[in-house]
Structures are given as C-alpha cells and as structure tokens.
Structure 1
Amino acid sequence: MNVVPQPLPGGSALAGDYINRYETVAHLYGGDFRDKESRSKRAAWLDGSEQLRAGRADMVECLEQYNSRHNAHPAVTASLELLKQPGTLAVTGGQQSGLFTGPLLVVYKAMTIIQAAKEAAAQLGRPVVPLFWIAGEDHDWDEVNHTYVLNRSQEITRIKLDKPEDTRTSVSEIKIGEEHWKLLAEQLDGLLQESEFKPQIMQFVAESSQAGASMSDAFAKLMGSLFGRFGLILLDSADPNLRRLEQPFFATLLERNDELETAYLKSAAEITGAGYELQAAVTAGCANLFYIHEGTRLLLYKKDGRYADRKDTVSFTLEELQQQLEAYPQRFSNNVLTRPLMQDYVLPVLATVLGQGEIAYWAIPHHAFGVVGGEMPLILPRMSFTVIEGTLHKHMDKYQLTFEDVYKGLDERRQQWLAAQDELELEQRFEEAKAAFTTLYEPLVEQLGMIQAGLLKLGNNNKDKILDQISFLQAKAKDAVEKQNEAALRQWERIEFSLMPSGKPQERVYNLMYYLNRYGPEWIDGLMTIEPEFSGLHRIIYM
C-alpha cells in the first residue's frame, strides 16, 4: 500500500478557504485546527464549562447501554471508562446510517476521528476518546437506502432497499424485516467475486441485520465490527435514552429560539456577504427544531405567536410546547443547525471531523454557540482518498493516464488513443473522400440547375444521400476499429468506473464491501497505518 498526495479540485469554496486560507474566514469559525494553541485553549474552555453540559456519568451510562447492544468490544469499554473521568475529551464526527455502511467516505471519517483523538491525546497529555455520531434522527430515507458496489464485471451496480412504510419518521425508527435484509445480502453476495474472504464478509453482514434491525442498528453493528477494536464509541442521535439527557437543552433551544434565529440569520448574512453560498437553508421564522407527530417528523415554524408545521398539522403556544417537552422529550428532534449545539451540550467536544459540505454549513451556527453559552469546537477536515488497485495502475501507465486525466473525464483522451490505433487512417480518408466527392459533384449539380430548376433540388438531395451513406460506412468502420480494440477500451472503462464512477469521486459512491472482499478485513488495519493528515489534502492509495 503506497500513499501519495493528489489534490482533488472542486468542493465548497468556503470549505476550501477554511482549509487553505483560514485567516480569510477565521471570523466564521472557532479556531484554527492546525494551531496547537487552539487545541489547548479549547481544552481549557471545556475544563471550565463542565457544569454547562449534561452530566458526564449519565451520558456515559447512555453510551454504555447503546454500545453494549451494537458495539461490544473491550477497546470501546476502555474508551467509555476514560470518558467517565473528568477531563477526558472527545473527537467526534458523524454521518447518516447508510446501507452496508454507505460510501467509503464514512469509513474515512471514522478513521480520521480515531487518528485525530490519538494525536490530540498525545499532544495534550490527557485522555481523548473517538466517538462516531450516527444521525439516526434524520428522515431522508432516499439518502441512505442504497449503496453502490463494483460487481464481478467491474461495473457500477446499485443495491437499494425500498421503504417499508410511507412516513417521514426517523431512519432509526424504521424497522426492516429479516426477509428484506436477506434479499439485500443475497444481492450483495451475487455481485461480489468469489474470494477467500467472502464467507467472513457475508457473515458479519448477516449478523448486523438479524432480528429485523433498523438501518441504524445494522449500520452501528457493521461500524462496530470494523472500528470497535480501535475504541470508537458509537452514538445514535435517535436513542430514546439520549433524548432524555437532551431534554434540558431542548428547553434552552425553545427559550432562546428568537435569539438563535437572529444568530443564524446574522451568520448567513456574513457568509453570503463574503461571496459564499449557504450550504444549509436559513429561513426567517424557522424554529430549527422538529416535532414528531404520529411517527412523522415535522419541522416547526413560528407564526402568530405559535409553533406549527407548514401544514398546521400541529400547533402549540410556547408554553404548550414546553409542556410537551417535559412530558414527551422523545417527540423532539434537532435539525442540521441545532445538532452542532446539542452535540456540544452532551459531550466534551475538543474537535469535530467534517467533510467539505459540512465545514461550510457549520459556519452558520457560529454565533448561535454564543447564544447558549457555548463556543464552537475546532473543526478537522475528514481524510480523503482514492483507491487505485494494482492492475488499474498498470493500465493507467500503459495508456499514460494520470489521476487528473481521469478526474477531468476520459472521453477526449480515449478518442485520441482510439484514433491512433487506426493504422489505415480511415477517419481521415473518409473525410477526404467526402470532401473530394463534394468538390466533384457540386459543380455538376449547379450545371444541372441551369438545364432545369427542379434538377438543382434533386441533385442536392442526391448529394446529401450519398454523403449520408459514406458517413454510415464511416461509422461502421469506426465501430469495427472499436470492436478490434474492445479489450483495451474495456480497460479504459474500468479505470473510469473504478476511480470516478458516474463522474463523482470514488469515496462518495462506492461501498467498502468490494474492497473487504478483495483484500480481507485486514484492509481496514492497513488503512489505519496510513500517516494521519488533517489538512484536507486528498491522497491516492495505490494497492
């Protein structure tokens, strides 16, 4: 495994400036992640604000219950024991639960969290534990119900799970029947090549989805089997036990809702005023909280002194909503702008690991942290990789292709290469034949027009038909050349499918199951030996 840096163009402009020109956006964030003093300063603030957060013992008890069900590993138990101790900090990061863990970027985020916690503990000389926050309270089923794998023919294949019920409830509340999980496992089994590791891979896939698990439960079990041995604690934001701990802070979010709205709008104006696009909606009158009514997650808005959803399915005064919170805390849920604040309430967050889109939208709650007496944690860019297997690397060398070539798209390079394989120069000769025919035929047609006007139109139509026939034969000749080079063109296609599937970075599309099946579960151990790099630089892993 050889790892080399390779910039990946694109992404959020705001995140790009955060990573590369922090001083230009420092006013939108809480500190420079590259500055060791920022870490020490953040740690000191957390020490002095312990009383502002949920009780540490209660929080750890909640995490112990959840991890004992889905992530029971001695290293996780050790992390939780550390977290019980006053002064222990956490590096966090999260993602929606995805089918078979979702895209590779989820794996890379977990890696970053673990490595960053280890580095911070060494630097600060105190315990820092890694924690992965599963966004199970989200209800965007279409975002998590599918994944992509490279099949036996090295083609992009989608595996999808249809929604068992038609509601907008949280992903963690949707139970998946064993028959559905079995069908998904059979699809995955049929797509993966036979390998010495396949029985083991399919076994832990099956174990993750037993007893009609939800998507979040299956996700947690898979993540635990992959990263539990590294001490990665898991948390589901939809955990009912967690919601009871969050209840006091939900009360704060209601009491200060107007101030929070002002803070969000202020940050949004600063972001757009600096020329950046908002990565999350900031709407006047939005309470930025969800209320769960009869299984459906409804976003609340403030209008006419009441809190209601867009369709007035529910409507409460502030006092009524506070009563609901006191009696039924499980009915309340964060949105994308309040979750960062809630995370800071329940955990001593030294730093949080984010992708580029997340880095951009985390600038929006910057002022909101101050409203609730908090301070924004440090933000670490997620490590980013593209995996290039040995055979594909050889193919790229053979055709003199760089990763940048693949990233930009191979159509033009492929056509240039194909043209070079045409030893008879058929393309050029066909074009010359058409030009020669036109040169000879057009004067004749014009002379015919002098004999009879109708012959001019007939002659032009005749010329076009002959040119069409020549072009038809030209296309057939091109097809024949492509057929002659079919094996080589297949190699070009595999390069593109593997590195930039559907024109997107590999890490945003493919699932890790193909790689585990190819290289074994130890592949994760190999990834964990890669030198940590928290600057947001994309890197190539040559297998």
Structure 2
Amino acid sequence: MPTDCIPFRETNYFSDFICDYLDEKEALKGFYHHFPKLENFKAQIEEKKSNIKCHHEHSRKVLVDTLESQYNNLKTSELTAVNIESLNSENTFTITTGHQLNLFTGPLYFLYKIISTINLTKQLKATYPDYNFVPIYWMASEDHDFEEINYFNFKGKKIQWNSEQTGAVGHFNTQGLDDVFEVISAEFGPGKNAEQLKIWFKEAYLNHDNLADATRYLANELFGKQGLVVLDADDKALKRLFIPQMKKELLEQTAFKKVTETNSKLEELGLKIQVNPREINLFYIKDGLRERIIEEDGVFSVLETDLRWDKSELLSHLEEFPERFSPNVIMRPLYQEVILPNLCYIGGGGEMIYWLQLKSNFEAQKVTFPILLLRNSALIKSEKQAAKLTRLDISNNDLFLDRHTYINKRVRKISNIDVDFSAQIQHLESQFKALYDLAEQTDKSFLGAVKAQEVKQTKGLKHLEKRLLKAQKVKLADEIERCTALQEDLFPSQSLQERNTNFSELYLEYGDQLIPEITQALEPLKGEFLILNLK
C-alpha cells in the first residue's frame, strides 16, 4: 500500500490561517490551549480530570445511561460495549469528532474524521496505558441545514432526498427514502459489494423511523468493530447537565461578549470571521420548530412564535424542559465539553477556525478547552490511476495545481519545443538594466522612455509565449485531454476528492478492505496530506 505525503500548505487547498496553526505561529497561540502533540495529552488529562471533579462529577453516569439507552436496539460490538461501560471510570477520556447527518455519510471526509478519531485513541492508549480512550462520533442531530445533508454524489450524479420537513434534522422521519433506495439500487448495479451497500442503505433508512437513528445504525455498521461510540446529544438527561451554562448564556449573554472580543483580535490578524455570535446563542426546538431565542426589555421570546417568558418563567421552563433548548454553533462545542470527559476535538479546517474563536467563552464558563486537531486528509488513487500517472510522468504535487497551471505545465513538459520564455525575459531585463545605467549617466529624462520600452517588449514576449502555448495545446490536445481527465477523476469538479466523492464509489471497487486500508494509512498527529494508492 504505497503512500506519499504533502504538507497542507503545498496543496493550496487549505487556508493560510490553518497552515499557520499547524506551524504553531506565535500570533495564534493565545487562541488555543495545548497544541496537538502526543506529549501534551498528559497535561490535558490532568486538567480535564480536575475540571470534571469540580463541576460535572455525576456527568459520567448520566452519559453512560444515555448511551446504553441509545444503543438498546442496536447490535453493539464487544469493543463498543466495553468503551461505553468504561466511561464510568475517572481514568477514561474521549476523543471526539462531530459531523452532520449527511445522507449515506456524504463526502469521504466523514470516514477520515472518524478514522482519525479511532486511530488517535489507539495511539494514546499505547503512550498512556493507565488510561482508557474512547472514540466518539457526535451526531449533529440538532442542526437544521437540510439542504447541506440531503444528498450524496455518486460518479458525477447527485443522489438527493427531497422532504418538506423542518426543524432539527435528527427528528426528521425517513419517509421518501424508499424512492432514493430505488435510485441507488439501479446506480450501484449488481455484485457482492453493491449488494452490501444496498443492505446498509435499506437497513439504515428504511428500517429506522428518524434520521438520527438511521445515521447511528450506519456509523455503527461501518465502525462498530473498531469501538466507535455514536452519541446523540439531543437528549433531556444530557441537556440537564448543561443547564448551568445555558442559564449563564440566557441571563448574562456570556458568549456574545467573549466571542465578539476574540473575533476582533482574530480580524486584526487577517482572519475572515466565519461565525458571529448572537446575543443569545440558543435555539428553541419542539415539534418541527427550531427558532432563535431573543430577549428584549426583560422579555424572552422565540422568533416566529407566540412563546413569551419573563426571567423567572424562562428559568422554570429551562429546568422543566431542558431538551427544548438547543445550542447553536457557538454553544455546541461548550455543550460537548460539559457532558463528555473529552481531551481533543478532531475537525476540518472550517471547524478549527471557529473553535479558535471560542476559548475565552470556555474560560468564562470554567470549562476546560480541548486540544484541537485538524482531521486527516487523503487522496485515494486506484492501482490503474497510479500506473497512468507514472506513465504520463505526472507527480503528486502536479495533481494539486489549479487546472490552468496544470495544463500549461503539462504542455511545457511534453512539447518538443520550449514554450517557456523565462530565460528570454530575464535576458531582456539584464539588457534594460544596462540601458538604465546609460540613461542615468547621460540624460535622466530618458529613464521614462527606457521603462516604457521595457514594459512594451516584455509584454510582447509574454503575449508571444501565450500564443505559442495555445498553439501547442491544440497540437497536443489528445494527450492534454488524457491528463486533464485523470486530474478530474481524482479532483472532481476541481475540488478535493474527499469533499465530493461518497465512500460507496470506492467500496464498490475495494469492498471490505477499504476501511481497514485507510485506517492503516492515516496517522492523526502527522499533520500532512496523505496520498494513498489502493490495490
């Protein structure tokens, strides 16, 4: 299983901000706690253990009871059952990733997030054998962005589930997915691997009543044997643990004040802020409703409804029905860290950036801020694709170039004439340097004329180079098309494979070896982009 790695910065698909975080740039150090290095987990363990004792001592029992209830009707692997039970112990900690309830897992990076999480728990156990580490997949069941999750891509086609339901997506019933099943059955075709995909889809979406249960089933089927624990935090008992933080948010608007201050500091560093806090960062959810809670002149209300409370009524309602209060993107990470004995959150680049906005709010709420780890990223090539790349002499780094640069570089490489005028332009510059010196010594008024002539001639050379390149592209069209088609296969729609392709495409080819092969290759703390050749 040959692999290669490229630094994230060199892929040109990751923001400078994320690359600066990976490089531990000094300017960002105030926005996170411990950097994700193996040796830093010891201090994180001690801090989290102390924080749980001070503020959330009974949270472990509530968490285990909730998980056992959620897994009640699910075929649970021995390792997952042991992991759930171990959460009762003060020496057990979690590593967590979160993801939306995308139809049939959505893009490939769903797998990479979870495998990164599982692999890190193994690495930590080997390094700190006195402790237990449990991989958690936190389902974003209270999310409302249905349009972001109601489809997956399969071989260039969009397989979509249409529904008029509203509110928290985890509550959505699975009606209408039988139509999607008919579509995917035709698309997947015959064969052992295709049949397995159809079984998973059918069991998940046609034999479960809601999207949260369906997603839990599917994640358990894919990763249960590796001990993954799937958590749906849309739960009354878990929300009850979060009441103190929700009270503070409702009455003091803590997150708004703290995160706004942090955002200003990040903007000074050139970050374009992704998530802005509201005055109150909680939604109200009930029976298809998911709307913001607002406060005006001491009266709390839910947008687009007639629901109204004064302060004491609201606090009573919170105590009685904590499950109706739902954290938004600013408060969800805090909720996670309150109810889990968590050490590290693993997420994508966008997630990492909004987590960097949140540390001051954690400090105000006296909750330990987790280690933040960028998930593994990978490009998977088939044996056939790898052979083509070798035959065409295309490097891994070349594949990451934008299409225009990729084609131009390819034309220059395979052309039997040199369509690179860099040397001529450099020679021209040296000639004009001599002319500048001559003008300086004779009549400085000629400097402008020399400059104008230099610009004109340089422009002419570049124009000629462009025309020759265009002519060569026409002449070499067939070979360029083959190279371009190969890049398009690996970078669909000129985006990263992991952000577009669904695992089903690869599973059809590799079957049960797919997840073990990826698991063997991904190293969560390595901090580089992986290129993986699968046979």
TM band (smaller chain): 0.7 to 0.9
In the other structure, the counterpart of 2:170 is 172
Checking the alignment, whether the CA contact within 8 Å between 1:268 and 1:282 is kept in structure 2 is no
> Which of 192, 197, 201 is the aligned partner of 1:201?
197
The range that moved more, 14-23 or 521-530, is 14-23
Q: 1-side partners of 2:347 and 2:406: how far apart?
A: 35
Which of 137, 140, 143 is equivalent to 1:135?
Answer: 140
- Return the alpha-carbon distance in structure 1 between the equivalents of residues 374 and 152 of structure 2: 24
CA 1:317/1:524 → structure 2, altered by over 3 Å: closer, same or farther? same
d(CA) in 2 for partners of 1:55, 1:212: 29
Q: How many residues align?
A: 473
Give CA deviations for 1:432-471 in whole Å, capped at 9, x if unaligned. xxxxxxxxxxxxxxxxxxxxxxxxxxxxxxxxxxxxxxxx
For 1:118, which of 102, 122, 127 is the aligned residue?
122
Letter in structure 2 aligned against 1:497: E
The 1:315/1:407 distance shift into structure 2, 3 A limit, reads farther
Is 1:11–2:11 an aligned residue pair?
no
1:103 to 107, 119, 125: 107
Confirm whether residue 538 of structure 1 aligns to residue 505 of structure 2: no
Instruction: Look up the SS of the partner of 1:521 in the other structure.
Output: helix
The DSSP-based 3-state class of the residue aligned with 2:73 is helix
Residue 42 of structure 2, aligned match among 40, 43, 50: 40
Query: 1:381 deviation in Å?
Result: 1.3
2:359 matched to 1:366? yes
Looking at structure 2, the residues matched to 390 and 324 of structure 1 have their Cα atoms a distance apart, in angstroms, of 60
Partner of 1:451: none
Tell whether the 8 Å contact from 1:164 to 1:174 is kept in structure 2 after alignment: no
- Please give the alpha-carbon distance, in whole angstroms, between the structure 1 residues aligned to 2:368 and 2:242: 18
Contact 1:341-1:369 at 8 Å conserved across structures = yes
- SS, match of residue 209 in structure 1: helix
1: CA distance, partners of 2:337 / 2:493: 37
The two structures have a TM-score, normalised by structure 2, of: 0.82
Aligned-partner Cα distance in 2 for 1:531–1:211? 33
Contact residue 172 and residue 210 of structure 2 kept, 8 A:
yes
Deviates more, 1:413-422 or 1:317-326: 413-422
Structure 1 residues 498-509: aligned runs within 5 Å: 498-509=489-500
Q: Is the contact made by 1:407 and 1:503 (CA closer than 8 Å) also made in structure 2? A: no
Counterpart amino acid of residue 317 in structure 2: Q
Mark the structure with the bigger radius of gyration: 1
User: Contact between 1:89 and 1:129, CA under 8 Å: does it hold in 2?
Assistant: yes
> 227, 230, 235: which one pairs with 1:234?
230
Which residue of structure 1 aligns with residue 448 of structure 2? none
1:308 maps to 2:301? yes
Aligned to 1:268: 263
Change (3 A) 1:207 1:14: same
Alignment correspondent of 2:339: 346
Query: For residue 512 of structure 1, what is the aligned residue in structure 2?
Result: 503
SS at match of 1:250: helix
Q: Offset of 1:414 from its aligned partner?
A: 4.8
Give the 3-state SS of the residue equivalent to 2:293 in structure 1: strand
Aligned runs of 1:44-443 on 2, under 5 Å?
Answer: 44-51=46-53, 52-53=55-56, 54-70=58-74, 72-125=76-129, 126-150=131-155, 156-165=156-165, 167=166, 169-177=167-175, 180-192=176-188, 194-255=190-251, 257-283=252-278, 286-292=279-285, 294-309=287-302, 313-411=306-404, 413-414=406-407
The one-character-per-residue Cα deviations of 1:240-262 (angstroms, maximum 9, x if unpaired) are: 4533444444334334x333321
Q: Residues 73 and 507 of structure 1: is their aligned pair in 2 closer, same or farther, counting only changes over 3 Å?
A: same
- The CA deviation at 1:74 is 1.5
Q: For the residues of structure 2 that align with 1:216 and 1:106, how far apart are their CA atoms?
A: 16
Give the Cα separation in 2 of the matches to 1:44 and 1:414. Answer: 53
SS in 2 for 1:302: strand
Change (3 A) 1:210 1:348: same
Indicate conservation of the 8 Å contact 2:291/2:304, yes or no.
Answer: no
On the 8 A contact 1:254/1:318 being kept in 2, the answer is: no
> How far does residue 281 in structure 1 lie from its aligned partner after superposition?
1.7
Q: Secondary structure at the match of 1:539?
A: strand
The 1:489/1:69 distance shift into structure 2, 3 A limit, reads farther
Q: Distance in 1 between matches of 2:406 and 2:337?
A: 49
Quote the Cα distance in structure 1 between the aligned partners of 2:184 and 2:236: 32
Q: What is the CA deviation profile of residues 398-451 of structure 1, one whole-angstrom value per residue up to 9, with x for unaligned ones?
A: 33323333332335655887899999xxxxxxxxxxxxxxxxxxxxxxxxxxxx
Matched AA of 2:100 = Q
Partner of 2:2: 2
Q: Secondary structure at 2:274's aligned position in 1?
A: coil
Distance 1:147 1:531 in 2: 24
Residue by residue over 1:182-225, the C-alpha shift from the partner in whole angstroms, topping out at 9 and shown as x without a partner, is 22222223223544322122112211113353233222211111
CA distance 1:203–1:269, shift in 2 (3 Å): same
CA distance in 2, matches of 1:212, 1:348: 30
For the 8 Å contact 2:249–2:281, the answer to whether it is kept is no
Of 529, 534, 540, 2:520 maps to 529
Counterpart contact for 1:352–1:377, Cα < 8 Å: yes
- Calculate the TM-score normalised by the size of structure 1: 0.81
Q: 2:464 maps to which residue?
A: none
SS in 2 for 1:337: coil
Partner residue of 1:24?
27
Tell me the alpha carbon deviations over residues 147-170 of structure 1, each in whole angstroms, 9 at most, x when there is no partner.
Answer: 1122xxxxx1111111243x2x00
Contact 1:291–1:297 (Cα < 8 Å) also in 2:
yes
Closer/same/farther in 2, CA of residues 14 and 421 from structure 1, 3 Å limit = closer
What secondary structure is seen at the aligned counterpart in 2 of 1:25? Answer: helix
Please state whether the residue corresponding to 1:298 is helix, strand or coil: strand
Q: Could you tell me the percent identity over the aligned residues?
A: 24
How much has 1:273 moved relative to structure 2?
1.9
Distance 1:231 1:400 in 2: 42
Query: What is residue 444 of structure 1 aligned with on the other side?
Result: none
Q: CA separation in 1, counterparts of 2:295 and 2:16? A: 32
| Aligned position for 1:447 | none
Maintained 8 Å contact 1:145/1:162? yes
Q: Distance in 1 between matches of 2:485 and 2:181?
A: 25
Please give the alpha-carbon distance, in whole angstroms, between the structure 2 residues aligned to 1:67 and 1:357: 31
Deviation at 1:137, TM superposition (A): 0.3
Q: CA deviation at 1:279?
A: 2.1
CA root-mean-square deviation: 2.7
Unpaired segments of 5 or more residues in structure 1?
151-155, 424-474
Inter-CA distance 405–213: structure 2 relative to 1 (3 Å threshold): farther
Give yes or no for contact 1:67–1:233 (8 Å, CA) kept in 2: no
Moved more, 102-111 or 531-540: 531-540
